[in-house]
Chain A
Amino acid sequence: AQKVTQAQTEISVVEKEDVTLDCVYETRDTTYYLFWYKQPPSGELVFLIRRNSFDEQNEISGRYSWNFQKSTSSFNFTITASQVVDSAVYFCALSEAYNNNDMRFGAGTRLTVKP
């Protein structure tokens, strides 16, 4: 089965620092989908991005950017000029095309941004 590893359990930065959250995945499928979700202290899960395995273009959305590299099976997430409101748990997730209802999540990275 597919697997997602988020090796960083917790990260703490000072406001305005850049921070990168790592995500490494394992899959035997050639077609798959990668996701990032944000879980702020209030507890809800907020969708951030979806990427399919055929699209290796990096994505930028405001202060957020994502670096997808199939060669290293990584889908890293960078926040530029972090803000206190970015404090949350961030989850990376993966689903394979042959069973695309089975989405596997990483354990999550807790990001704390201090003022």
Chain B
Amino acid sequence: DAGITQSPRHKVTETGTPVTLRCHQTENHRYMYWYRQDPGHGLRLIHYSYGVKDTDKGEVSDGYSVSRSKTEDFLLTLESATSSQTSVYFCAISGSGGVGTDTQYFGPGTRLTVL
């Protein structure tokens, strides 16, 4: 199994508070991704990174920011959490060439509840 961990695994927070989710990999992969999973939508890409300090937006990036200061860590921040951001968040990694040329491996997920 790919060495991907996510923390925390579960979090309950209140509307308006900032939240940061962490994804850590031990595979030295270049590409890292954040997805959210919601019923009826499958997984949707929030942001991704193609290297240290290099990030780009995905399909549902509004309300989220990301940072990558080290190869192994990719942080997802909700600046001011809303109830619509209640979801399960997955981190994924891939090696050399993004999705098309390499398989994406997923972390265990973080269940976030915004009250």
A binds B: yes
Total A-B pairs in contact (CB under 8 Å)? 62
Chain B CB within 8 A of A14 CB: no
State how many angstroms separate the Cβ of B92 from the closest Cβ of chain A.
Answer: 8
> Contact at B33–A101, with CB atoms within 8 Å?
yes
> Contact at B108–A43, with CB atoms within 8 Å?
yes
Q: How many residues of A contact B (CB 8 A)?
A: 26
Interchain CB contact (< 8 A) of A44 among B44, B56, B106: B106
State how many angstroms separate the Cβ of B32 from the closest Cβ of chain A.
Answer: 10
**Complex Cα spacing A102 to B108, Å:** 20
Interchain CB contact (< 8 A) of A95 among B43, B44, B90, B99: B99
Interface size class of B (residues with CB under 8 A): 20 to 34
By a CB distance below 8 angstroms, the chain B residues around A105 are 41-44
State how many angstroms separate the Cβ of A100 from the closest Cβ of chain B.
Answer: 3
By a CB distance below 8 angstroms, the chain A residues around B74 are none
- Which residues of A (84-98) have their CB < 8 Å from a CB of B? 91, 93, 95, 97
Interface residues of A (CB under 8 A from B): 1, 4, 6, 31, 33, 35, 37, 43-45, 47, 50, 52, 91, 93, 95, 97, 100-108
Q: Can you list 8 A-B contacts with CB-CB less than 8 angstroms, sorted by A residue number?
A: A4-B42, A35-B104, A45-B92, A47-B105, A93-B43, A95-B100, A102-B58, A107-B40
Which A-B residue pairs are the 3 nearest by beta carbons?
Answer: A100-B100, A105-B42, A45-B106
